[in-house]
Chains A and B, each alone.
Chain A
Amino acid sequence: MSHKEMTAGVQLAGQVLVAAWLFWDLLAGGLAGATVTGVAIKLLWVIGAVIVFTIVATIVMTIVFSIARGEAFEDEPADERDLLIEAKSQKWSSYVTSSLAALALVPLALGADPVLAAYALFGAPMIGGTIHAIYQLYYYRVS
């Protein structure tokens, strides 16, 4: 496993944690009486938490892999295969993110609670990021 695959795995773990938190939050009545401002602030905190989680988990996993392998587990400069895999993964991620972001307008157009649109706007890049990480892991295995 390369450092880039490990990073993709960490990003995927972060997205799974966010999905689990969202599910728990909705079950715990996160939508009840929620305002757009309140939800936006909450989701911004989640984005911050994901960034911190990704940085910390990457550092911890790098140390763990280095100890397990008995040598420094460093990221190598990207070569043509890395760039190709990144481009392919980014393509799918962009399709999903832009499609879901556009769909986020639907509840607003139907006159639904704008809080739902805030969740949809948050979910679009999160799901796009998940697709990106999954495709990276997939392409590193098959190509």
Chain B
Amino acid sequence: MGKGQTGVSNTIRALRFNAGEMTQAALAEKVGVTRQTIVAIEQGRYSPSLEVAFRIAAVFRVPLEQVFQWEGKIDE
């Protein structure tokens, strides 16, 4: 995990590509956040709230776990 990186990866870039090269601005408008926030989420610099995560999944009509994957570890 690099500096400023979260433990959550995502497939938003691929999902946008599969959705007819949807632009970051178009996704931002559908989700209700700024384009900069979509950029930050896509680059793994920002973990969105659950609500925004669900909104993104809803835009692509896929389950949440297809958009976001947890890559961290839980200490036992």
Contacts and interface: CB of A to CB of B under 8 A. Distances in A.
Interface of A: 2, 76, 79-82, 140-143
A81 B40 contact: yes
A76 B35 CA distance: 10
29 contacts: A2-B34, A2-B36, A76-B34, A79-B32, A79-B33, A79-B34, A79-B37, A80-B33, A80-B37, A80-B48, A80-B49, A80-B52, A81-B33, A81-B34, A81-B36, A81-B37, A81-B40, A81-B46, A81-B48, A82-B34, A82-B37, A140-B36, A141-B4, A142-B3, A142-B4, A142-B45, A143-B4, A143-B40, A143-B45
Contacts of B4: 141-143
Nearest to A140: B36
Contacts of B46: 81, 143
> What class of interface size applies to chain B in its complex with A?
10 to 19
Contacts, number: 30
Nearest to A5: B36
Interface of B: 3-4, 32-34, 36-37, 40, 45-46, 48-49, 52
The DSSP consensus for interface residues of chain A is: helix
Given A80-B37, A81-B37, 14 more contacts: A2-B34, A76-B34, A79-B33, A80-B33, A80-B48, A80-B49, A81-B33, A81-B36, A81-B40, A81-B48, A140-B36, A142-B3, A142-B45, A143-B45
Contacts of A2: 34, 36
Contacts of B34: 2, 76, 79, 81-82
A43 B29 CA distance: 44
A81 B37 CA distance: 7
Nearest to B36: A2
Contacts of A143: 4, 40, 45-46
A141 B48 CA distance: 16
A81 B47 CA distance: 9
B25 to A, nearest CB: 11
A140 B36 CA distance: 9
